[in-house]
Structure 1
Amino acid sequence: MAVPATASVCDADRYGPPSVTGLVDLLDRHVRERPHARALVVTEDRVHLSYRALAALADDVAARLGATGLRRGDAIGLICANNAEFVVALLGAARAGLVLAPLDPTLPAAQLSDRLDALGAQALLLGPSVNDATAAQVAVPTWPLRVIASRAGTATVALDTSAPAVREVRGAAGELSGQDALVLFTAGTTARAKMVPLTHANVAASVRGICATYELGPGDATVAVMPFFHGHGLFAALLATLASGGCVLLPERGRFSAHTFWDDMRAAGATWFTAVPTIHEILLDRAGTEYPGPQTPPLKFVRSCSAPLNTATQRALERTFGAPLLSAYGMTESTHQATSEPLPTRGPLKQGSVGLPTGVDLRVVDSLGRTCPVGTEGEVWVQGPTVTRGYLGNPGETARSFTDGWLRTGDLGVLDKDGYLSLTGRIKNLINRGGEKISPEHVEDIIAGCPGVVEAAVFAVPDAVYGQRVGAAVVVREGESIGSEQILRYARDRLAAFEVPDKLELVAALPHTAKGALDRLAVEAKYGQ
C-alpha cells in the first residue's frame, strides 16, 4: 500500500515558491516582484546581496562560461565552501546549460581527481577557500572564481577561464543531457561514493516539497549550517530558501561555527535552521553559556536530518530553543527530503518518527518486495518526481537499487496506521549475533539516552562462536563521571539480552563524514577488531 504524499504543491500566494522548472528560473519571480529583497548575507561584514544583485552575478558567470565553448549538458566540477562563490557558480552554470558537480573541499587531491575523472568533468571551478596545492594536483583545467562584494550591497565577479576546457566527453558525462542540473556524490560511509544525476525537474520537485512542508516564504531566513556539496545543505537550506523568497546567511568562513552561530542567527533574523544531530548536540552542550535566549529571533521550528536524532536530545532542544524540532528523512537519490514531521499546525509530532512523505509515494516491503502490514518492519522504498533515474557509470548498482521506478533505499522502517515512518536501521549495518539480527542504530539510540552520554557508535565484533558480537564506542559529556558499567546497566534495563554490547569502550570523540553523519567505515576500522 503506497502512502499518499501529504504535501506536493506549495501555496504560492502565502508561503510557497513559484512554479520553478529547476535551477535556471529559481530566482526569476523574486527578481521581478521583490528585486531589492535580501537573498544572501555574505562576508565578515555581513553584506546583503539582493535578488537582483544575485541574479546579475549568475548571469555574468553564465555568459563567461558560455564563451568557453562548453555545450549544453557538459559537466564541470566545483570546489568551494559555503560562500557567495558557491551560489553564483551553481546558478551561473545552470543558466549556461551546464551540469555542475559540487565536491567536498576537504577531500585529498587524489580523491578529488578520481571523482572528476570518473565523471569526465571538462573543467573545475575553484572558490577562494581552496588550497592552492590541492588545486595544482587536480588533472582538470581549473577556473578560479571570486565574488567581490561591497558594503553597499553591490558585487562583481572575477572568473578566470583562460585554461582551455577539455573538449572530448569522457567518463560518465556521456550519460548526461541538457535536462540534468547536478551530479552529487553519495556520502560513501559504507561503500565507495556513487554519482547521482539530478535533473532540473528533480530539483524543482524537491524545493516545492520542502517549502510546502515548512510553509517557507519571503518572511523566512536561515543560516547555512550544512555544507552545500551534499543535499541536506544544498536543497533544504539554500535552494528552498531562495525559491521561496527568503534569505540565507553564509557564515564568514564558509562553514558552521558554534562560536558565531547565534550571532549569525540574529544577523539574519533567522526563523529556522536545519542541521545534523551532531551539530544539534554541540549547540545544546554550549547553550548554557552561548544561547542568547530572548535576544534571539523567535524560531518557527528547528529541523534535523541526515542521521538519527535520539529522543532525549530532541526534547532537550525543544525546551532550550522554545520551538518544535522536526525530524526529516532523505537521501541523495531522492533529491534530499522524502519525509518529514509536519509543522504542529498541520499534524501531530510522533516520538521516534521521521514523519510523513513529502511529495513522494513511500512503502515498506519484505524481502520479496511485498508490502508489509502496518507496524511490520521492512525495507523503505520511495517513488516520485524527486527520485533520480539511477547512478552514472554504474549499471549494476542501478539495477540493484531501482525497481520499476522505485528507489530501494536500503533503510529499514515501519509505517504506522497514519502513514508516519519510523526508521529502525540499515540493512547493511545489521549485526548477526548467532542468528539474532541487531540494529546498531536502535542500540545507539538507547545508549544515547543514558544521562551523561553524548553519542554512541555500535558495530560488529568478529566472534568464533556467534559469528558476530556487539561492540560500542561511547562519548561521555565533559565533566561527567559516568563509567562503562553504568552505561551497560542502563542498556540492560532497556534492551534484549542479545542486543546489549559485549564490549563497550569510552572514547573522546567519534569519526564523522563531511555532512556530519557517523562514519561507520572509520568506526569499524578503529574499534571493530
Structure 2
Amino acid sequence: MAVPAAASVRDANRYRPSEVTGLVDLLDRQVRERPDARALVVTGERVHLSYRGLRSLADDVAARLAGAGLRPGDAVGLIGANTAEFVVGLLGAARAGLVVAPLDPALPEIQLSARLLALGARAVLLDPAVAGVVALPVPAWPLRVDVSRAGTAAVVLEPGFCEVSQGGGAAGELSDRDALVLFTAGTTDRAKMVPLTHANVAASLRNICATYELGPGDATVAVMPFFHGHGLFAALLASLASGGCVLLPERGRFSAGTFWDDMRAVGATWFTAVPAIHEILLDRSEREYPGPQAPPLKFVRSCSAPLNTATQRALERTFGAPLLSAYGMTESSHQATSEPLPQRGALRQGSVGRPTGVEVRVVDRGGRSCPAGVEGEVWVQGPTVARGYLADGDESARTFVDGWLRTGDLGALDEDGYLSLTGRIKNLINRGGEKISPEHVEDILAGCPGVAEAAVFAVPDGVYGQRVGAAVVVREGDGVGREEILRYCRDRLAAFEVPDRLELVAALPYTAKGGLDRKAVQARYAP
C-alpha cells in the first residue's frame, strides 16, 4: 500500500513513491536517508557498493568531465556492458548536466562511429573491455572503477580537454533539460535517435516503481542490457530510484549458468527479461532451478516481445510467482502498460495489462477510437512520451501526432482497459488480400507440445503476393515433427494462416535487445 513520502525510515520495506526529478538527483534521497545501504553488487566477488559510495564516484566523474570543458547540454556517448563503469559513467555524466547516449558495445565500429557522428557527441566514455578495441571519431576516454573487497571504490578516468564544439550532428537540438538519447532497435546506422528529458525519465521511474511497489526491500539481477530501455529503466534506474539493489553479473552480461546463484547472492525479489531469456531459464530449470533454495519472488516481469500464454503458465508453476507482462517502447521511456500485482488487480494472460501513468487508445485507420475488443493501432500519450526524433522531422511528424505516439503496434482494449497486442502493422503478411499477423501464428506454434521457439515470415508468391512461412525450433528429445506441428496449426488457425512452408531449425536469430531479429529471419528463410 502506498504511504506518504515523509514516512519514517523505519518503514523502509514499505512502498513509497519515488521523488526523483531526473537522473541528476536519482541517488539523493537514498544517500540522505540510507547512505550505507547497498545500491549495487559488483565484480565476481559480489562486492557491495553503497548509495553514498556510488554517488561519490558519480560526483568524481562529473567533476572530471566538467574540467575537460564539457558543458550542460553537451552530448556524450557511453559504451559498455552492465558494469559498475556503465552505471558510474551514466550518473556522473548526468550530474555534470550532460546528455548521455548509451551504445551497444557489440555494434561494429562503423556503426558506433556513424551514431556518434549523427548525434554530434563531443566525447565517449568507454568500459575498459572496449577501450583499445575500437577507433572512434570523437575523443574516447576509458573509465575504470576499482572496487575493493571491503567495498571501497575509486574512479580511474583521465579525460583530455574538449575544445568548444563548432556544432554538427543532432546535438544542437538538445539542452540541459535532456537526460538521454536512446537509439531505436536496429542493425544499421539508420536507427532513430530518441531524446528523453529528465522529466520523461522521472515520470517513467515513478510509473514503474508504483506498478510493482518497489522499495528498499527489493533486489534484482541485471539481466537485460543497460544500453536499451528495458534494462536501463526497469532494472537499473527504477531499482535505484526506489532504494533497492541491483546485482551486476560478472563481465556485465546475463549468464544462465550463474543466474540463480546471482539471484540468491543478492536476495532477489524479482527480475525482468525478454521471453527468449525466460524460455532459456525454463528449459534449464529441471537441472538448474534451486527450488526451495531459490529466493522467494514477489513477481517476474516480461517485456520487449510477446510472451505466449503456455510459457507464462509454465514459468509461474516453476518459479512460484506471478509473471507480469508489460509493454513499452523507447519513444515512451520504456513502460506504457503492465499487468498489475495480483493484490492490485486481475491478471489477464495474453494481455500486457493496463496503462501505467499514461493514456492508451486503439484507433482505426481514420484516427477514430475503436470500441472495446476491436483491433486497431495502439497510440500512447503522457509525460513519458518523447517529443520526437532528433534530426528527422518527417518521421517525427508521422509518429508523433498532437502529443500522441503512434506505436505501429496492433492491439485491442477490453472493457476493463487491458491491452492485448496482436502484431506490428509493418509485419503483416498479405496473402491474397488476407492480412495475417506473424505474432498470432507464432503464439499458436509456441503452444504446440515440443516447440521451443517459432518465427513466422512472408514468403514471396506469384499468385497470392505472399504466403506464410515459419521457422521452428523444437525441444531436444521431444521428437515432434513437421506434420504434427502443421496438424496442430490446422486445428487452431484459419486455413489461410497455416504456414505453407515450415522449416525445423536449430536456432533463431535475435537482436541485442533480445527480440526476434525479423530481418535476419526473412533473409535467411524467405528466399
Which residue is 2:115 aligned to? 115
1:60 match: secondary structure: helix
CA distance in 2, matches of 1:205, 1:287: 36
CA distance in 2, matches of 1:450, 1:258: 25
Which residue is 1:400 aligned to? 398
Q: Verify the 8 A CA contact 2:69 2:162 in the aligned structure 1.
A: no
2:251 match: secondary structure: coil
CA distance in 1, matches of 2:359, 2:172: 30
Among candidates 157, 160, 165, match of residue 159 of structure 1? 157
Which residue is 1:323 aligned to? 321
The one-letter code of the counterpart of 1:278 is A
Which residue is 1:141 aligned to? 139
- Once the two structures are superposed, the pairs formed by residues 73-472 of structure 1 within 5 Å of their partners are 73-130=73-130, 132-134=132-134, 137-162=135-160, 164=162, 167-188=165-186, 192-472=190-470
CA distance in 2, matches of 1:497, 1:170: 54
- Once the two structures are superposed, the pairs formed by residues 53-64 of structure 1 within 5 Å of their partners are 53-64=53-64
Q: CA deviation at 1:19?
A: 1.7
1:516 match: secondary structure: coil
Q: Verify the 8 A CA contact 1:231 1:332 in the aligned structure 2.
A: yes
CA distance in 2, matches of 1:148, 1:495: 56
CA distance in 2, matches of 1:125, 1:166: 18
CA distance in 1, matches of 2:485, 2:517: 22
1:205 match: secondary structure: helix
CA distance in 2, matches of 1:168, 1:355: 47
1:113 match: secondary structure: helix
Which residue is 1:527 aligned to? 525
1:177 match: secondary structure: coil
Superposed CA deviations along residues 180-236 of structure 1, whole A, max 9, x for unmatched, are 000000012699411000000000000000000000000000000000000000000
Please, which moves more after superposition, 472-481 or 312-321? 472-481
Q: CA deviation at 1:26?
A: 0.6
Which residue is 1:518 aligned to? 516
The one-letter code of the counterpart of 1:99 is V
Q: CA deviation at 1:168?
A: 2.3
The one-letter code of the counterpart of 2:53 is A
Structure-2 change in CA distance of 1:191 and 1:473 (3 Å)? farther
1:443 match: secondary structure: helix
CA distance in 1, matches of 2:129, 2:487: 47
Please, which moves more after superposition, 476-485 or 240-249? 476-485
Q: CA deviation at 1:296?
A: 1.2
The one-letter code of the counterpart of 2:215 is G
CA distance in 1, matches of 2:462, 2:187: 27
Q: Verify the 8 A CA contact 2:18 2:209 in the aligned structure 1.
A: no
Q: CA deviation at 1:402?
A: 0.6
Where structure 1 has 5 or more consecutive residues not aligned to the other structure, the ranges are: 1-6
1:15 match: secondary structure: coil
Q: CA deviation at 1:139?
A: 1.2
The one-letter code of the counterpart of 2:72 is R
The one-letter code of the counterpart of 2:62 is A
The one-letter code of the counterpart of 2:445 is I
Which residue is 2:71 aligned to? 71
Q: Verify the 8 A CA contact 1:16 1:208 in the aligned structure 2.
A: no
Q: Verify the 8 A CA contact 1:41 1:248 in the aligned structure 2.
A: yes
Q: CA deviation at 1:169?
A: 2.4
The one-letter code of the counterpart of 2:468 is V
Superposed CA deviations along residues 267-298 of structure 1, whole A, max 9, x for unmatched, are 00000000000000000000001000111110
CA distance in 2, matches of 1:346, 1:528: 45
CA distance in 1, matches of 2:203, 2:211: 12
Which residue is 2:18 aligned to? 18
TM-score of the superposition, structure 2-length normalised?
0.97
2:337 match: secondary structure: strand
- Once the two structures are superposed, the pairs formed by residues 499-514 of structure 1 within 5 Å of their partners are 499-514=497-512
CA distance in 2, matches of 1:294, 1:133: 44
Where structure 2 has 5 or more consecutive residues not aligned to the other structure, the ranges are: 8-13
Superposed CA deviations along residues 42-80 of structure 1, whole A, max 9, x for unmatched, are 001101000000000000000000101111100000101
Which residue is 1:43 aligned to? 43
Structure-2 change in CA distance of 1:356 and 1:265 (3 Å)? same
The one-letter code of the counterpart of 2:68 is T
Q: CA deviation at 1:166?
A: 6.7
Q: Verify the 8 A CA contact 1:122 1:166 in the aligned structure 2.
A: no
Identity, % of aligned positions: 79
1:376 match: secondary structure: coil
CA distance in 1, matches of 2:33, 2:498: 59
Q: CA deviation at 1:439?
A: 0.2
The one-letter code of the counterpart of 1:112 is L
Please, which moves more after superposition, 318-327 or 121-130? 121-130
The one-letter code of the counterpart of 2:114 is D
Please, which moves more after superposition, 14-23 or 235-244? 14-23
CA distance in 2, matches of 1:325, 1:154: 37
The one-letter code of the counterpart of 1:232 is H
CA RMSD of aligned residues (A): 1.4
Which residue is 2:10 aligned to? none
Q: CA deviation at 1:160?
A: 1.8
2:343 match: secondary structure: coil
2:264 match: secondary structure: helix
Q: Verify the 8 A CA contact 1:26 1:242 in the aligned structure 2.
A: yes
TM-score of the superposition, structure 1-length normalised?
0.97
CA distance in 2, matches of 1:11, 1:277: 36
Structure 2 residue 482 is matched with structure 1 residue 484: yes
